[in-house]
Amino acid sequence: MDIKQSVITENFKQRLFFALSDPGRYKIVRMLYHVGHEMGCNELNEHVEIDKSTMSYHLRTLREIGMITTRTQGRQKFVTLNREKIEAAFPGLLERL
Which residues, at least 6 apart from 83, have a Cβ–Cβ distance to it below 8 Å? Answer: 33, 94
Contact 43, 7 (CB under 8 A): no
pLDDT digits (tens, 9 = 90+) for 3-38: 444 445 788 999 999 999 999 999 999 999 999 999
Q: What share of the chain is helix, strand, coil (3-state, %, to 5)?
A: 65, 15, 20
The CATH number given to 1-94 is: 1.10.10.10
Residue 56 burial by Cβ neighbours in a 10 Å radius (0-12, 13-18, 19+): middle
Residue ranges per domain, the chain?
Answer: 1-94
* Residue 71 main-chain phi, psi, to 5 deg: -125, 135
pLDDT digits (tens, 9 = 90+) for 27-85: 999 999 999 999 999 899 889 988 988 999 999 999 999 999 999 999 999 999 999 99
State the pLDDT at residue 93.
93
